[in-house]
Amino acid sequence: MAQSYTISGYVTETGSGERLVQANVFEKGSLKGTTTNAFGYYSFRLPAGYYNLSYSYVGYNSLLLPVSLKSDTVINIELSGIQELDEIRITATDPEAERYRLLISQLNVPVEKIKALPAFLGEADVYKTLKLLPGVQSGNEGQSGLYIRGGGPDQNLILLDGIPVYNAEHLFGIFSVFNPDMIKNIELYKGGFPARYGGRLSSVVDITSKDGNLHEWKGSYTVGMIASKINLEGPVVKGKTSVNFSARRSYIDLFSKPVAKKLFDENNFAQYYFYDVNLKVSHIFSDRSRLFFSSYYGYDDVSTSIYDSYLQSSNRWRERNVFGLEWDNLVTSLRWNYVISQRLFANFTLFSTSYNFAANHRYTKESDEAGYYDDFEIFYGSRIADKGFRFDLEHFILPGYTMRYGYHFTDQGFYYAFSDQKQTYNRANLRSFVGGHFDMGKPWLHEFYTEGDLKLADRLHINAGLHASFYMTDEKNFSSLQPRTSVIYQISDRISVNGAYTKMTQYINLLSSSTFSMPSDLWLPSTAKIPPPQSNQFSLGGRIDLGKGISMNVDAFRKDMKGLIEYKEGVSFFENKKDWEDKVETGLGYSEGFEWLIRKDKGKTTGWIGYTLSWTRRKFDNLNNGRYFYAKYDRRHDISVTLTHQLKPNIDAGLVWVYGSGSAATLPTQQIRLEGLPPGIGQTHVLGYYSERNNYRLPNYHRLDVGINFNKEREKSTRIWRVGFINAYNQHNPFYLYVGWEVNRPVIKQVSIFPVLPSVSYTVNF
Amino acid sequence: MKEIRYLGVLVAVLYLLSGCKEILDYDEDSVTETIVVSGILTPEKAVDIRLSKSINRFDTLGFRQVTDKVIAFYSDDNYLGDLMHLGKGRYYSDQFEISAGKNYSITIMDGALETASAQTLVPHPVKITGLDTTYHFVQGERRIIVKVHFIEPGNAENYYRLELVDEIFVPYLAANKDVRIRIIKIPARVYTDDNWLIRGMGYYSAADKFHDWAGNQFNIFSDRYIQGETMSLELEMDYFRTDSVLGVNRKIYLQSISKDYFYYLRTVMQQSQTASNPFNEPVQIYSNIKNGVGILGGYSLSVDSIVFINHSLIDSLFPGIELPGSLNPGDYFPSAFVGDRNL
């Protein structure tokens, strides 16, 4: 028996030195091989002999390398990106490589392709493109968060370079916090979660940022309708140290403020703006040792002031209403990769991540002549802050057999502040204050995992593991063992089937209104009264390679959840959250459905069509009389069509069409007259009545976005004009509904916020 | 009010981003009307049940009573008889004796077809064992502090409602110039801001200072934190109306109400307080009516009272008349003075 040797190394991009994540590396004949890890490293073993090694990555030219294997070998490979001006854009990898990937409810989102899609108000958004994939919903217009396979926005683990981000969207969901210029790779898991991930029930969005160009300085700037951004990357020390910096700022406030002043008066204004900054510094000590520092900070600010002065009963009255909202994310990490041996890759991470939110409202009314003064101010603030460290080890044991182990520790902090001040000089001098700063918990989370990735025969591929977690709070400790299993079986060269089972536990909840989803939603820890939510998910699916770069994926899933929370009936979203445990109900839910995706990755026209059919229900003992009801984001049908077409070598066009069945809302559709009531509110009283929670369906949502990109190559730069229309046929999609009056009768009124919008941006890459 | 301001400012911001409003078509036929039942049973009162139909939310024609049904009345599953329809959806009988501790049910029939049904328990009363009264002043106004003593049974889940009714004895001049007395009954107000049990409907303990129920107008509470306790429930209330009245008999009713009735009243209060605010969670009216909505509830009560007697006015209007010399609670004016109608 021939002796086996290890082949290992890094796969990087030609020119920049950027490491490529999930690049395929395999031996062409036997298909033995692996994919690069999150740091671009690969390792596998083959018996001594002659081989043709294939290296490939989406959007890059594949490389076939003949190798004579006689000893442990380090092969670092550079792959060159496909030129955008090529007549035929090959965006798929070698079909043999493609089916090698374990595609259990896992999707890779090609970042470069996303930039070709119509940009919203000039901003290409890779995170928002996730919402075009089957199984992923975006909620209603103006609503932030991802809703994946029936899970709420708090059930998604969104990682930036391995560190959780708590609020991933600016401007109520219109833009994500992820600057596309900084993103190298996005992996989305909707099921079949590998054991190395934990802490959320419904999905993992694993985003890797670019390290920065190791060999030359490059950059870009973009001027768009809502925001502008700049990106610079380059070597601090050539071949050793790189830096990648990007910044973005909106300028809605620059025109909203003068517009408000013009419409009202000098003392009135309304403004919104956001900015974000990314910085990443990478240093290569040696082939075995690399250090990365990355940091992200993003900030949003909304504020309005409405002032009125009027005469009443010969007295001058003045009223002012000032309202402010602000929130920010700060994510920082320091990571060290170390190749312990050719088959043992280690990563150490120190990190901190925080999300802060504050809302303030002040109302004053006064009249010197009337001797009246009324002033109240309410403040609400919340903060979640994590810090900790992670240790991850990859052991490349045999070709097709990799083990992963890890330990993660997180020190969490939850804080809440509230104050309600009132002062009045009308008739009597009364002053009241209620409030305080509350520590909502400082739990510790310990996580351990072991994960095996095994290819048993040429056709059977298994990923199995165990994720164990221990959550320690002041009141109670929780523990959870979460088995994970995914299996893929290659029936033939073109057809594969897969199945997966995962158990997930999450130790935090997002307390949000059933009617709104806002950045003021409060992150809270599991407690003795509110145990951690858990889910069990089964999925079955298949993949068919139809040839000519066309493939089809089908998936069916069933997810059962328990420990879900909802506000109790009648509770106000703006109430004091100090005693939040007494204001929520716990219950269970399930989601089941079917997903279908057909995609074309080769040729002048590429894209995909996705369809989801699903049901999502909840059950709480003290809500809806203990009966099952549809969740507010239950959407029966969800369709997305995404197409890009190369019109000319320097012109490409994109089209996105989305359709979703109306989501659910609670609307009293009947009135009842109650008689014989005791004194208090009137002995006969008319009230609204609905037989079921979330009984009403909002109108169906659909929208067409079209765009065209003009590329112009100059000597030292590339200029791109992106022009398009968002909501091209001016569909009025619902933002919210309310019952109003029209010609003396009540009617349902719908408010929409986005009519047809032109979208223009200008980008220079240099 | 604050929440409406939030809403108003938020909407103003969003309108700056541009938007439009339109009226949605609504399929009124998609909503099935449902029968609405309102019936509360208590000892020593007749059975009085009202039936009506729900209407579409966008209907402007008004409510319709249900006048064509038959309501069969049962006690512990024994058929007692049918209620008589008095008109306008009111079904009535004074022939059935209601007793505490018994289960009662109704079936609403349309011909031979049962359209709706409900059942309830009339709980045993919990006796008020005594009242203690003191006074204090708030911003120059006199208020009464009454401690209502009772022993919470602690044997099961019990639910209560407090009701205060002032019987005000007011003099008036009859046609023959005699001075007569009429009795006016009006609810008296309980101040519940500092009363942890009433304020929180019994769901929050005395240690909890921050919960924010909008208001407990029905003064209902549960025994969640007081099971088996000897209670001294402190109530703060307005002083009596004293001008031109001969006296006030303030009756304090401690009602033991059925669990269904408690949840019904709670949800009615919550919905009426929060329905107009989009930042409040929706409230579904609790119902124990099968194939309908509304309530068949029950209660029994215990009553005690505190009395105010305006001696100077009585002496001036009825010189030489001997009145009960005692000021103990429960003393009433002699019936000879009471006028020929109650208001």
User: B229 and B261, same structural domain?
Assistant: yes
Name which of A203-217, A468-482, A614-628, A730-744 the model is least confident about: A730-744
Beta-bridge partner residues of A56: A24
pLDDT at B27: 66
Going by the DSSP 8-state scheme, the letter that residue B258 receives in this structure is: -
pLDDT at B324: 55
Name which of A127-141, A412-426, A642-656, B37-51 the model is least confident about: A412-426
Separation between Cα atoms, residue B335 and residue B159, nearest integer Å: 35
Listed residues B121, B147, B169: the one ending a domain? B121
Contact yes or no for A603/A549 (Cβ under 8 A): yes
Q: A322 versus A123: which is more confidently predicted? A: A322
Separation between Cα atoms, residue A189 and residue A454, nearest integer Å: 19
A758–B contact, CB cutoff 8 A: no
Contact yes or no for A737/A665 (Cβ under 8 A): yes
- For residue A83, count CB atoms less than 10 angstroms from its CB and return exposed for 0-12, middle for 13-18, buried for 19 or more: exposed
Separation between Cα atoms, residue A720 and residue A713, nearest integer Å: 9
Measured CA to CA in angstroms, residue B58 lies from A63, A669, A690, B21, B22 at distances of 68, 8, 13, 18, 16
Could you tell me the two tokens for A152? 């709420």
Disruptive mutation site among A256, A263, A669 for chain B (greatest number of B CBs within 10 Å): A669
Residue spans of the domains in chain A: they are: 4-87, 106-663+698-765
Separation between Cα atoms, residue A19 and residue A10, nearest integer Å: 7
In our burial notation (b when 16+ CB lie closer than 10 A, e otherwise), range A240-260 reads eebbbbbbbebebbeebbeeb
Disruptive mutation site among B22, B120, B266 for chain A (greatest number of A CBs within 10 Å): B22
Q: Is the pLDDT of residue A86 over 80?
A: no
User: B26 and A748: CB-CB below 8 Å?
Assistant: yes
Mean predicted lDDT score pLDDT of chain A: 84
What's the mean pLDDT in B56-85? 87
pLDDT at B22: 73
What percentage of chain B's residues is helix, strand, coil (to nearest 5)?
15, 45, 40
Q: Is the pLDDT of residue A80 over 50?
A: yes
Angle at A399 between CA A398 and CA A404, to 5 degrees: 60
User: B220 and B95, same structural domain?
Assistant: no
User: B159 and B92, same structural domain?
Assistant: no
User: B330 and B242, same structural domain?
Assistant: yes
pLDDT at A255: 64
Separation between Cα atoms, residue A632 and residue A611, nearest integer Å: 20
- SS3 for A180? helix
Helix (H) or strand (E) holding B235: strand B230-238
Query: DSSP alpha helices (H): ranges in chain B?
Result: 2-16, 196-199, 259-274, 311-317
User: B147 and B74, same structural domain?
Assistant: no
Query: Which of A256, A574, A689 lies at the smallest CB-CB distance from B16?
Result: A256
Beta-bridge partner residues of A344: A341, A395
Q: Is the pLDDT of residue A630 over 90?
A: yes
pLDDT at B12: 44
Q: How far is A472 from chain B (nearest CA, A)?
A: 25
pLDDT band at residue A121 under the 50/70/90 scheme: low
Answer CATH for A106-663+698-765 from 1.20.120.1200, 3.40.50.300, 3.30.70.360, 2.40.170.20:
2.40.170.20
pLDDT at A603: 85
A475–B contact, CB cutoff 8 A: no
Angle at A613 between CA A609 and CA A615, to 5 degrees: 150
Q: Is the pLDDT of residue B20 over 90?
A: no
A574–B contact, CB cutoff 8 A: yes
Instruction: Say which CATH number the domain at B79 has.
Output: 2.60.40
Separation between Cα atoms, residue A727 and residue A563, nearest integer Å: 39
Map tokens 């940022």 to a residue. Answer: A209
Angle at A137 between CA A132 and CA A141, to 5 degrees: 95
Beta-sheet pairing, A372-398 with A430-441:
unpaired
pLDDT at A619: 97
Q: How many domains does chain B have?
A: 2
User: B269 and A304: CB-CB below 8 Å?
Assistant: no
Measured CA to CA in angstroms, residue A338 lies from A36, A72, A291, A352, B284 at distances of 15, 18, 9, 21, 59
Separation between Cα atoms, residue B97 and residue B119, nearest integer Å: 16
The 10s digit of each residue's pLDDT in A151-173 is 888 899 999 999 999 988 887 66
Q: A344 versus A679: which is more confidently predicted? A: A344
Beta-bridge partner residues of B280: A572
Q: A144 versus B6: which is more confidently predicted? A: A144
- For residue B140, count CB atoms less than 10 angstroms from its CB and return exposed for 0-12, middle for 13-18, buried for 19 or more: exposed
A321–B contact, CB cutoff 8 A: yes
Q: Which amino acid is at A59?
A: G
What's the mean pLDDT in A720-741? 83
User: A690 and B284: CB-CB below 8 Å?
Assistant: yes
Contact yes or no for A456/A463 (Cβ under 8 A): no
pLDDT band at residue A22 under the 50/70/90 scheme: confident
User: A744 and B60: CB-CB below 8 Å?
Assistant: yes
The DSSP secondary structure of B107-151, one letter per residue, reads: EEEETTEEEEEEEEE-PPP--EEEEEEEEEEETTEEEEEEEEEEE
Could you tell me the two tokens for A298? 């993003």
User: B87 and B170, same structural domain?
Assistant: no
- SS3 for B161? strand
Name every chain A residue with its beta carbon within 8 A of the beta carbon of B20.
732, 751-752, 755
* Closest C-alpha among A703, A766, A708, A761 to residue A735: A703
pLDDT band at residue B326 under the 50/70/90 scheme: very low
User: B330 and B220, same structural domain?
Assistant: yes
Q: Is residue B150 part of a domain?
A: yes
Query: Which of B16, B267, B284 lies at the smallest CB-CB distance from A260?
Result: B16
pLDDT at A101: 44
The 10s digit of each residue's pLDDT in B217-232 is 889 999 988 999 999 9
| Residues in Cβ contact with A672 at an 8 Å cutoff, skipping those fewer than 6 apart | A686, A687, A689, B34, B36, B52, B54, B285, B293, B294
pLDDT band at residue A593 under the 50/70/90 scheme: very high
**A-to-B residue pairs, Cβ atoms closer than 8 angstroms:** 227
The 10s digit of each residue's pLDDT in B134-178 is 988 888 888 889 999 999 998 889 999 999 988 888 888 878 777
Share of chain B above pLDDT 70, in %: 82
User: B139 and B104, same structural domain?
Assistant: no
In our burial notation (b when 16+ CB lie closer than 10 A, e otherwise), range A129-153 reads bbbbbbbbbbbbbbbbbbbbbbbbb
- SS3 for A140? coil
Name every chain B residue with its beta carbon within 8 A of the beta carbon of A583.
211
| Residues in Cβ contact with A235 at an 8 Å cutoff, skipping those fewer than 6 apart | A212, A213, A214, A215, A216, A217, A241, A242
The 10s digit of each residue's pLDDT in A564-578 is 999 888 887 666 666
Q: A744 versus A49: which is more confidently predicted? A: A49
Name which of A53-67, A689-703, B21-35 the model is least confident about: B21-35
Q: Is residue B283 part of a domain?
A: yes
Q: Is the pLDDT of residue A65 over 60?
A: yes
What's the mean pLDDT in A724-753? 79
Q: Is the pLDDT of residue B204 over 90?
A: no
pLDDT band at residue B323 under the 50/70/90 scheme: low
A647–B contact, CB cutoff 8 A: no
Distance of alpha carbon A487 from its chain centroid, rounded? 26
Q: A677 versus A430: which is more confidently predicted? A: A677
Q: Is residue B10 part of a domain?
A: no
pLDDT at A378: 79
Q: Which amino acid is at B260?
A: D
What's the mean pLDDT in A394-420? 87
Domain residues for B333? Answer: 128-342
Listed residues B80, B99, B121: the one ending a domain? B121
Share of chain A above pLDDT 70, in %: 87
The 10s digit of each residue's pLDDT in A426-443 is 544 555 555 666 777 789
Listed residues B100, B121, B142: the one ending a domain? B121
The 10s digit of each residue's pLDDT in B245-302 is 888 888 899 999 999 999 999 999 888 888 777 678 888 999 999 999 999 999 999 9
User: B299 and B318, same structural domain?
Assistant: yes
A742–B contact, CB cutoff 8 A: yes
Q: Is the pLDDT of residue B334 over 80?
A: no
Contact yes or no for A26/A53 (Cβ under 8 A): yes
* Closest C-alpha among B242, B233, B246, B263 to residue B164: B233
In our burial notation (b when 16+ CB lie closer than 10 A, e otherwise), range B148-181 reads bebebeeeeebbbbbbbbbbbbbbeeeeeeeebb
Angle between helices A252-263 and B2-16 (to 10 degrees): 110
User: B133 and B113, same structural domain?
Assistant: no
User: B265 and B149, same structural domain?
Assistant: yes
Longest CA–CA separation in chain B, Å: 81
* Closest C-alpha among B2, B263, B83 to residue A377: B2
* Closest C-alpha among A220, A395, A95 to residue A762: A220
User: B170 and B96, same structural domain?
Assistant: no
- Long-range contact set of residues A125-130: C-beta below 8 Å, sequence gap at least 24: A125/A175, A125/A176, A125/A178, A125/A180, A126/A176, A126/A178, A126/A180, A126/A183, A126/A186, A127/A168, A127/A169, A127/A176, A127/A177, A127/A178, A127/A186, A127/A205, A127/A207, A128/A175, A128/A176, A129/A642, A130/A186, A130/A188, A130/A205
Domain boundaries A4-87, corresponding CATH code: 2.60.40.1120
The 10s digit of each residue's pLDDT in B76-116 is 989 999 999 999 999 999 999 999 999 999 999 987 777 89
Q: A116 versus A75: which is more confidently predicted? A: A75
Angle at A407 between CA A404 and CA A411, to 5 degrees: 150
Q: A444 versus A757: which is more confidently predicted? A: A444
pLDDT at B98: 95
Disruptive mutation site among A674, A681, A697 for chain B (greatest number of B CBs within 10 Å): A674
A262–B contact, CB cutoff 8 A: no
- SS3 for B331? coil
Q: Is residue B24 part of a domain?
A: no
Q: Is the pLDDT of residue A661 over 60?
A: yes
What's the mean pLDDT in A268-282? 87
Half-sphere exposure of B105 (CA within 13 A, CB side): 13
Q: How far is B202 from chain A (nearest CA, A)?
A: 12
Query: How many other CB atoms are found less than 10 A from the CB of residue B342?
Result: 10
A307–B contact, CB cutoff 8 A: no
Contact yes or no for A175/A149 (Cβ under 8 A): no
